[in-house]
Amino acid sequence: MNYFPIFLDAKFINVLVVGGGEIATSKVELLLKSPAKVTLVSPKVSDSIQRLIDSNQISYINGEYQKSYLSGKQLVFVATANRSLNEQINQDATEQGVLANVVDNADLCHFITPAIIDRTPMIFAMSSSGQSPVLLRSWRAKLETMIPQSLGKLASFAGQKRQQVKDRFTTFSNRRQFWERFFNRTGIEQGDNLEQFFTEQLNMATDNTKLQAELLVVCTPKDPDLLSLGALRNMQKADSILVGVGVDANIVDLCRRDAPKADSNATTNNEAIDLLMQGARVCLLYNGDNPSDHPLLIAAKQLDCQVFQFNSVIA
């Protein structure tokens, strides 16, 4: 991963845009979807930018770039056809600790802007690390059709109810399981009857509700693409991950990111059994087709835990 993905709080960002043509216009219009403060410098600007200037949506400097314009800025977007100027701005930005993005020149970029799918407050950002923008646009178009427009409404509703759920459940596991049940409801993405379903589900659950321990056994293939959808979904829900010998690291990376991960051995198996006794959801990544003799599987059955096994997709 050559580029570290990060979401910045735009309320604290001052941005300089150098250039006034079509590319600069698209960058400014994207920036104005956030509360970032935008200053643009160029002797000429497009009609679209002129309208933004006239409506006081951006600050405008009518003239050529000067190094002093970087003062107080955190980001600079460079959208000119003058390579020597682009290189100079990159050097100036480096010296002043300002992150620079020189459009269509990855060598002069300190950061790159991702392809974005906006379902505010849900934001999906994707990047090809500058290697294949056409492929990136293709996948963005596909995902646009898959992600409901109303997803932002659902996220906003959940944000409004977070404290109410925290007040009802004292443990993180119970809160997480409540939200999982809520979000997994069929048709919930459409955003209909959210208040009614939320109230019904909250009234049904209590902090004393006993969690049903689950052991998820994933028989891993060599190729991550051969994992079943069911396996992927459940790998993302596990509280703890045990990794068997020979499991591909790329498969481990597909598990829930914040779940603790450890190699499967006598010590970690016993720790996982303790977690199951507390009602946790444990995932065992097993390199093979028949994990029936694995000590964790044997113990889970003795504890009367729910056991789910996921095999590779047959190619």
Residues 284 and 299 in one domain: yes
Per-residue model confidence (pLDDT) at position 315 = 44
Residues 306 and 221 in one domain: yes
Q: Are 119 and 152 in contact (CB under 8 A)?
A: yes
Q: What is the pLDDT of residues 130-144, one digit of tens each?
A: 888 899 999 999 999
And the tokens for 299? Answer: 């113990």
Residues 243 and 282 in one domain: yes
- Secondary structure (3-state) at 19: coil
pLDDT-wise least confident of 91-100, 223-232, 253-262 = 223-232
The b-or-e profile of 294-306 (16+ CB within 10 A means b, else e) is bebbebbeeeebe
Residues near 286 by Cβ (< 8 Å), separated by ≥ 6?
Answer: 217, 218, 219, 220, 244, 247, 294
Q: Give a yes or no: residue 17 inside a domain.
A: yes
Residue matched to tokens 């048709």: 187
Residues 239 and 268 in one domain: yes
Q: What is the pLDDT of residues 9-47, one digit of tens each?
A: 999 999 999 999 999 999 999 999 999 999 999 999 999
Q: Give a yes or no: residue 91 inside a domain.
A: yes
Q: Give a yes or no: residue 2 inside a domain.
A: no
| Interatomic CA distance for residues 288 and 285, integer angstroms | 9
Residues 88 and 17 in one domain: yes
**172-183 and 151-168 helices, crossing angle to 10°:** 150
pTM: 0.70
Residues 233 and 268 in one domain: yes
Domain that holds residue 22: 10-113
| Interatomic CA distance for residues 80 and 23, integer angstroms | 9
